[in-house]
Structure 1
């Protein structure tokens, strides 16, 4: 009788352990399925399907890199290490991050050897999309200057979905929206008209609404000193005589020289005798914008936040 009881108990224990093992296996299987869940992103260059939460990502867009850094995403495996913005300098560490070329010339051999799970590119690499796609799933995440905030938010929402950071993205975008509304309120009370300029080795280009830096007008509501500037990525070539004739009340200047490292200073050539006659110069309203945020990494959570702060600061100056 006792032997029968022992045998029964033993069988029950075996069945219980088997059930636990089955449950554990099912849980592990479910977890693996969740981690390998596929998603499809529709972008300017096509549709790309890949697994969520990729562990090895090559990032060619500094705005996306800026955002991944802000979100604490540690999946970055490779970046173009030339001209990385100073505030993202940790990604210059060659022991932790693969150097995958430059913004305009990718090192496809290095990228292929990495076997990345995902590649993220933007406008400067658009012509190489097919070559990237042969190596790994590739998505294009450039900002549309004609709808800067709309495309920026869409990119950030997509990034949140990829890495399971939806709630954090919602919070970050809400904070940026609040700051933008504050800037718009400040700007609306000013009659000052502005001219946006890119300075490059003594040459100057102007940017208006719907252009590369057009969010100053389109999003923040700053009035244009010249509403006839053509919308473009590279700007409209202008002369110093044009600047004097336009006579802006304020000038926003992006100094490309500062990021290409040629040793020249935009102020040395820009603030000449002609420009010194403008209202902007005489009222100390020539604002030099940080090119790391405005030229290299626009469209990121950190860079857009800084852009908002820069414009707010410009209108708060006495």
Structure 2
């Protein structure tokens, strides 16, 4: 939610920013809220969505500001070294409007889930690009990255980054399916209240599929939901498969997983006994998206497969 403090004063500042901008408006983009004109070569970019930060960096643009990743206070670990000095302008779902205004952006890249009321305020600060939302889809991130690349004037760089992801995924798939069969797996995010089975229609489960896995949700995830309700330890057999990818968002989730992994119910799982459980970073696997995130997910998959091959 955008801050409501001093709303009328802030709106006055926004109007001043908009009127004071002298940059040429050269291109029109089709966004969730209609056509938006953007500068030919934006120099002061703020991202309010993890996928927008990822796409910007993949395109060779370093934003001035970003929101913190879900479950954290900074950007996701896999991007932190690339933006050590980036200004935090809010948390996931809670943007600090005054912090955005202070950066005087000439382009804002936002989430497809941005409410229209927030868009109305942000668009007074700078052209605000919001991708159309098509619900949960494993390939939605690609269309988002392409739109962000177009907004930045960096379409060739984004196309190149996407092609590199596709080529690497195909190479991994050839290795993983070398015996003619796709190994089954679930992606589970472990929270303090219990494990959540993630939808097969998300970014990271889509990457698992692209790399050659048969991703399942055991019928536990309702349509257009990102994950299941928390499972009890007694229900863990529901997540049996050839592999199991386990993600935690923060220290609380990690502690809960470590406690659960000592239970008899967890140790009895066949996938655990075969040592084909892969611990992954939940900030990357269950919150991030974009070309750089895709390469990082493929890194984890490749490491897991190579480690298993040497056992």
Query: TM-score normalised to the size of structure 1?
Result: 0.75
Give the unaligned 5+ runs of structure 1: 1-34
Equivalent residue runs for 1:12-91 within 5 Å: 36-74=24-62, 76-81=63-68, 82-89=73-80, 91=83
User: Could you tell me whether the CA contact under 8 Å between 1:199 and 1:266 is conserved in 2?
Assistant: yes
Q: Which residue of 2 aligns with 1:244?
A: 237
Correspondent of 2:162 among 136, 154, 173: 173
CA separation in 2, counterparts of 1:216 and 1:242? 26
Aligned match for 1:266, one of 257, 274, 277: 257
| 1:38 and 1:52 in contact (8 A); partners too | yes
**1:279 maps onto 2:270 in alignment:** yes
- C-alpha contact 1:143 1:299 (8 A) present in aligned 2: no
Alpha-carbon shift at residue 199 of structure 1 (Å): 0.7
How far apart are the structure 1 equivalents of 2:93 and 2:293?
Answer: 21
Provide, for residues 145-197 of structure 1, a one-character-per-residue CA deviation record: whole Å limited to 9, x for no partner.
74433x33323333333333333223222211111112222333345321211
Shift of 1:262: 7.4
Tell me what 2:227 maps to: 235
| Deviation for aligned residue 1:79 | 1.9
The alignment covers a number of residue pairs equal to 276
The answer as to whether partners of 1:195 and 1:224 remain within 8 angstroms in 2 is yes
- The 1-side partners of 2:80 and 2:302 are apart by 26
CA gap 1:264/1:124 in 2 versus in 1, 3 angstroms:
farther
The question of whether the paired residues in 1 share the 8 Å contact of 2:58 and 2:157 is answered with: no
Match of 1:302 among 286, 292, 296: 292
Quote the offset at 1:240 in angstroms: 2.1
Q: Counterparts of 1:143 and 1:183 in 2: how far apart (Å)? A: 30
The CA deviation at 1:54 is 1.3
Correspondence 1:203 to 2:191: no
What's the CA shift for 1:72? 2.7
Counterparts of 1:215-230 in structure 2, within 5 Å, are 215-216=206-207, 218-230=209-221
The CA deviation at 1:236 is 0.5
Residues 207, 232 of structure 1: 8 Å contact kept: no
Matched residue of 1:176: which SS?
Answer: helix
Partner of 2:121: 131
Q: Contact between 2:42 and 2:107, CA under 8 Å: does it hold in 1? A: yes
Residue 202 of structure 1, CA deviation: 4.4
Displacement of 1:239: 2.1
**Rounded Cα–Cα distance in structure 2 between residues aligned with 1:143 and 1:285:** 35
**How many Å separate the matches in 2 of 1:38 and 1:246?**
51
Q: Which residue of 2 aligns with 1:109?
A: 98
1:6 corresponds to: none
Comparing both structures, which one devotes a greater share of its residues to helix? 1
Q: Which has the higher contact order (CA 8 A, sep 6+)?
A: 2
| CA gap 1:201/1:46 in 2 versus in 1, 3 angstroms | farther
Question: Would you say the 8 A contact 1:145–1:212 is kept in 2?
Answer: no
Task: Specify the structure having the higher radius of gyration (Cα).
Answer: 1
- Which residue does the alignment assign to 1:120? 109
Q: 2:261–2:267: 8 Å Cα contact kept in structure 1?
A: no
Separation in 1, partners of 2:30, 2:270: 46
Whether 1:185 and 2:192 are equivalent positions in the alignment is no
Match of 2:153 in 1: 164
Deviation string for 1:103-159 (max 9, x for gaps)? 22211122233332111111564463222223222112488674433x333233333
Q: TM-score, normalised by structure 2?
A: 0.76
